[in-house]
Structure 1
Amino acid sequence: MSITTFAVAGATGRLGRHVVDVLTERGHRVVPMSRATGVDVVTGQGLAEALTGAQVVIDVASWHSSDQEAATEFFRASARNLHAYGRQAGVARIAVASIIGADRATAGFLAAKRVHEELLLAGPLPVRVLRAAQFHEFVGQLLEWQPGDVAYVPELPTQLVACRVVAEELAGLAVAATVPGAPIPEIAGPRRETLAEAARLLGARRGVRVVGVDGAGMPDAEQAAAGAFLPGPHARLAGPTFREWLDAQP
């Protein structure tokens, strides 16, 4: 196996940590990029130095809130800088993690990810996109956003997937041979459920009562309820299920 030098944007984030682990385990050289390592994809600080010698950029940097406008500006700046500095450094390609259904989103964070995809794909460097279902880890975030012993979680269909599985798929996509005309690949978990169902499993362990709600008021809630953000027929489905993942947590 040839050794590749990867620069990972968002390396200290929820998904980024797994990407760094997977690449390291596979024997590649990894340059972690985040504000914690002195690299800012929005301002460009430290990017030139971090990308020197890198062959592939994996972009898993994300905005910290669901605000569409702020997230869009973050992704706009990061896409511009990764292309500009990457081209100067001789980077061969960028691989990026996106979200299943981003191409159909009209509002909220998913709409910002749609813009992110479009901007990256329009840039000078070749770009490979992997769309993933919501992470298993996202369920805990939903509960943490609502302090107290009751949490209201949408009864919206999903097919949750583990961050580690997404990281493995993205690392493979970054170095795989391209297939002209192939659809954008998707990765999701093996079981269809609702966010509220998964949250009840976690809530039972944390002493939180989860109340399912219809998702009214959420961006594109009608589309989501109809299954617009579920994986397509070409998606790769990979375990563990949310329950199996939860049982394996320390």
Structure 2
Amino acid sequence: MKFAVIGGTGLIGSQVVSILNAAGHEAVPHSKSTGVDVITGQGVDEAVAGADVVVNLTNSPTFDEASPAFFRTSMDNLLAAAHKGGTGHFVILSIVGVDQVPELDYYQAKTLQEALLVAGPVPYSIVRATQFMEFIDAVLTWTADADTVRLPATPIQSIAAKDVAQAVADVAMGSPLNGIRDVGGPEIFTLDELGRITLSHKGDKRTVVTDPTAGMFAAVKGDVLTDKNAHLAATRYSDWLA
């Protein structure tokens, strides 16, 4: 099969392309660096023409109130091109619990992206993943100073990016779900606990202070970012750190 992987040079996209090609398919990565702009529409028709499957892994450059406009425009352009080009399966990557955190602009934007896909003209699959292990370091910087890192006790089911990529590729190689597949890591930690584990592994002597008001994840209520019934990946956080 022929796959057009939009956002195919990024953290997940580049791995999806490698997995699909190793499986004997033809997967072509597309991004701004290859001349494809999902906002202006430049190169989009050409990128998806003749593709059996379109995998859209593009992401908004911001997480604020501008993010819904990115997803609306990009999805409108990609879905129109995929429909015109005869694509039979359109796949996106989203977030476990994304529709349960209306307080966050970015989560509202990703919920919009899902809704546009569901209402669109192409058979589809949505892969919802839990939080990436690769993003934990960035999260620690949001509310840190020289002595402390402040984090809420939000339950997190972190998953390795390589496992997310495999899940996306597996779904893309299958028949359209016309629904959602949740994937997550094998363990659930609170975010403050993950912070302590991470700092300890790095030999970082800063103290993690549990603060229910700290950072973006303070807006998350309960355990909506976890799913014990998700398809569980194998990589544990301690193994990933090692």
CA RMSD of aligned residues (A): 2.2
Indicate conservation of the 8 Å contact 1:151/1:208, yes or no.
Answer: no
**Is the partner of 2:12 in helix, strand or coil?**
helix
Q: How does 1:1-250 map to 2 (within 5 A)?
A: 4-67=1-64, 69-108=65-104, 109-145=106-142, 149=146, 150-177=148-175, 184-204=180-200, 205=202, 207=204, 209-216=206-213, 221=218, 224-233=220-229, 235-247=230-242
- TM-score normalised per structure 2: 0.89
Task: Give the counterpart letter for 2:238 in structure 1.
Answer: R
CA 1:93–1:208: 2 relative to 1, 3 Å: farther
How far did residue 8 of structure 1 move? 0.9
3-state DSSP of counterpart to 2:151: strand
Classify 1:154/1:85 alpha carbon distance in 2 versus 1 (closer, same or farther; 3 Å): same
Measured after TM superposition, the shift of residue 86 of structure 1 is: 0.9
How many residues end up aligned between the 2 structures? 239
Deviation at 1:119, TM superposition (A): 0.8
Per-residue displacement from partner, 1:45-86 (whole Å, max 9, x unpaired)? 11111112211011111113321x211111111110111011
Deviation at 1:198, TM superposition (A): 2.0
Determine what percentage of the aligned residue pairs are the same residue: 36
Contact 2:157 2:184 (8 Å CA) reproduced: yes
Instruction: Rate the CA distance shift 1:219–1:195 in 2: closer, same or farther, 3 A.
Output: closer
Distance change in 2, residues 1:225/1:74 (3 Å)? same
TM-score by length of structure 1 reads: 0.87
Give the C-alpha shift of residue 107 in structure 1: 2.5
Q: Would you say the 8 A contact 1:157–1:225 is kept in 2?
A: no
Q: Give unmatched runs, 5+ long, in structure 2.
A: none
Q: Alignment partner of 1:185: what SS?
A: strand
Change (3 A) 1:175 1:143: same
Q: Which runs of 5+ in 1 are unaligned?
A: none
Q: Is the 8 A contact 2:144 2:150 kept in 1?
A: no
Q: Distance in 2 between matches of 1:104 and 1:82?
A: 26
Determine if contact 2:101/2:108 at 8 Å carries over to the other structure.
yes
1:106–1:220 CA contact under 8 A, matched in 2: no
